[in-house]
Every structure is written in structure tokens, then in C-alpha cells.
Amino acid sequence: MGADGLLRYHGRVDEQLKVGGMRIEPAEIEHALMSHPAVLLAGVAVPWQGVAFVVSAEPVDQKSLRAHLLDRLPAVAVPTVFVRVPRLPTLPNGKLDRSALGRAARPEPDRQLSP
């Protein structure tokens, strides 16, 4: 509350995304991705940029991931780009570093998974 007695709202503290008018937690997208047999770990950047990062032991294509997610999530929550990475960035406490993912959300073309 300010000195003038007014309460000011400065935005969300949680990581909830608003995509296409729907509210969705990044963890919902990550959980759906990790239910794919080839995906070991997944991370989604906040703010939402339509990019998901996946760690997988074997190559996996975007078409397979997209089809898998469309069976589990609303279409607006399905990432448009999937980037395979060797590991996901973490904070000192072991949690996913979403700000690092946000900075990396503009993938280099050779890191994107094939369509």
C-alpha cells in the first residue's frame, strides 16, 4: 500500500501463463512433454514465447512432440518450437532457471528439432 493509501497491483508473482486467453501453468506443458517416451526433461520459458526445451536420450522430431501434446493440452498451449538441449539450466537450489530459458528462447536453427 502506498503512502496515499492506495493498493497497487504490479503483476503476477507466480509463473502462470496466459496463452490465447487461457491460463496455463508452465509445469502443465512440461509434464505433458515428459510423458512422451523420448523426453527425459522439459522446460518452458516464461514469459511464454512458444518455445519448449527438451532433454532426450534419442532424437525426437517436432511433429511427434506436437501430436503428443495436442492429445493432452489445448492447441494454444502447444509450443511452436522445440529445442533439444543436453541439459536444462538450474538455479542454485536445483529448480529450473526459467529466466535463463527465456534468454535462450530464440534458438539457433541448427538446435531446433526437425519438423
What are the boundaries of each domain within the chain? 17-111
Burial of 84-104, coded b for 16+ CB within 10 Å and e otherwise, reads bbeebeeeeeeebbbebbbeb
Average pLDDT over residues 106-110: 52
pLDDT digits (tens, 9 = 90+) for 43-89: 998 777 889 999 999 999 999 999 999 999 999 999 999 999 999 99
On the question of pLDDT at 112 being above 80, the answer is no
List beta partners, residue 42. 54
pLDDT at position 7: 73
Q: Is the previous residue joined to 26 through a cis bond, with omega within 30 degrees of 0?
A: no
Q: Indicate yes or no: pTM above 0.85.
A: no
Residue 92 cell numbers, joined: 542454485
Q: Of all helices (H) and strands (E), which one includes residue 113?
A: none
Average pLDDT over residues 35-44: 96
pLDDT at position 53: 94
pLDDT at position 74: 92
CATH superfamily of 17-111: ANL, C-terminal domain (3.30.300.30)
Confidence class for position 104, pLDDT limits 50, 70, 90 = confident
Q: Of all helices (H) and strands (E), which one includes residue 23?
A: strand 22-24
